Structure 1
């Protein structure tokens, strides 16, 4: 089998493997001085109200954050009431803001005996959806929440969602410690497969650790009462970036390296093979005819072919020399040596003539 056919077949196999290969995930960790406060969406089958405050954990002073709570009227399509919490100008810091505590209260309670089964999630709990503020699909405009983003966040069938659902039971406090993660996903596979720097689609999400404890001072005995306490687990951001370990450009380099190594071993064991001045292109019928015409126009005879006995030996040698100089050997160095010898010989003759004249 010709060498170029073997090379092409091996290259196609590598291309198929690279195309089917999934990108690897490169993880990096970076310390930060502050973290954005996550956005939260609370839902409950009945009307409810909320209060919010934040503190440092090092000081007994508490600050209200009720202004960041936006109440959404009862939505018939979802059969729930909702309140959205988003604080774009608040950041967790080790000294100033260490936690946020949000209390939820309703005059109506849901239990297994009186619970309305038409509620989409089918369990007697309030729900909190936690999402990174930079990736939240909900964007309030003129005091109104984006209904499209709200439906996207509330869709439990959304497999690519970047939120986490938290169940809030009656007379329970949900304590959440979270880690912020950033995910960089390759958006264009074409540039990435070739080997150029790909375009990355960045999104951030919250990775929470949750613990539920009973409320110690709950006074709501007939209705629903629950608390969500959220704070950062650490001030380290984890970045996950997709990256390909092999590309088409790297495959060319790999193919050349392997072929060079294989050729070196073969030459060492069996010696150098015959030189082939013609490649795959000259094997095509159209290029073969063009090469034939070129040889016929430049050479009196085509070397290494059967010719008639009437051909002169000098013509065959001249044709062979022309063919080797054009196709096989670089004779520039030989021309330089020959020119140098001619100059030396001419100089010697001039010196002899000068002596004879003297």
Structure 2
């Protein structure tokens, strides 16, 4: 029998590996955050090196800040609190974790939060259960407590429309992983809600000329505009003339090509190139490999499926990873 690399505490609600895969953060139902590290470089086993209280309520979501800003995690708790915790080195006591920012609590629950970095500024986008989207910008890269609310809107093409009765069960955000000072900030977002216009995955881009966020593409066909979105994933781009984005609904996983040249209205061309069905149930999470060639998906069927395209651009299931019975 294979030996486990670590054993999580009872009551663990969520986990997140850092960007190098060398640390794991785990959120517990009692509001504590545990950090696991590999103490022996020659071993692949991990042990808990820090454990501290974030809130009295359960931690629902953990996201690591990009590594160039240090060892920092964002924690979302059941009471609607979003906080940032930073590891600092104390001369006498060694590494300690301290609270560096607690965002204003909203009346609705945060469903997802992700960080984006275009080379000049760190941004944070948060999606809420009332359908609102808030984008914060870090004012000083050396001061992780100095964030400013840059924009607030809903995930709709018609920017005039507002939905005050939205009830969202989940949301998924994925930033464009490319980091360039000349590239605009953009991300894809989809909701699982009772309002169809909110649900479909949309690509948002920051318009420098008008200093606002605009929807530049909708990853949805006419026949599936009412489908709830469970997960989105933007692939790394190594030399492709287009972007590659995966969208998971309650029906399937769709693979989309996103063009790079906007039309006169500022919209980007989209093309659905594949429909992947295999889970037979909800897909909760998707991740691309570093090359953007292989997509991993997992859901309520309890397995991880790996997807790839062949030289002809035909997508297929490459492997299935199931837990031992």
Whether TM-score is above 0.5 comes out as no
TM-score (norm 2): 0.22
Larger Cα-atom Rg: 1
Between structures 1 and 2, the one with greater strand share: 2
Compare relative contact order (CA 8 Å, sep 6+) and give the higher one, 1 or 2: 1
TM-score (norm 1): 0.20
